[in-house]
Amino acid sequence: FLETFFKLYPTATEKELAYYVKDGVLAPVSGDYVFSELVNPVFTKDGDNLKASVSVKYLDNKSKMTQISQYEFVLHKDDNWKIIE
């Protein structure tokens, strides 16, 4: 789920994000980034949810530099996984 999400995230519209993210918990970003890898993901079970702490490595197509972004969020699974916090 996370690799798919972070591949789409840099170019996703708010409508596209709604499938993966509850009520705009993560705002869209507008950048020319290409997903490279998840770095040191840590997951902790919290009842029916998973808390995730992950760094995401992107290649910035404009500057040709590597960018690492850190995220902490809560995942919940109904029909599919969704970022809820």
Per-residue pLDDT of the chain (85 residues; tens, 9 = 90+): 999 999 999 988 888 888 899 987 888 877 789 999 999 999 999 999 999 999 999 999 889 999 999 999 999 998 889 999 9
| Strands 49-60, 65-77: pairing kind | antiparallel
The whole-number pLDDT of residue 29 equals 79
Which CATH fold would you assign to the domain 2-80?
Answer: Nuclear Transport Factor 2; Chain: A, (3.10.450)
CA separation (Å) from 68 to 13, 20, 55, 65?
21, 21, 6, 10
The whole-number pLDDT of residue 28 equals 80
Cα–Cα distance measured from residue 53 to residue 74, given in angstroms and rounded to the nearest whole number: 9
Torsions phi, psi of 59, nearest 5? -100, 125
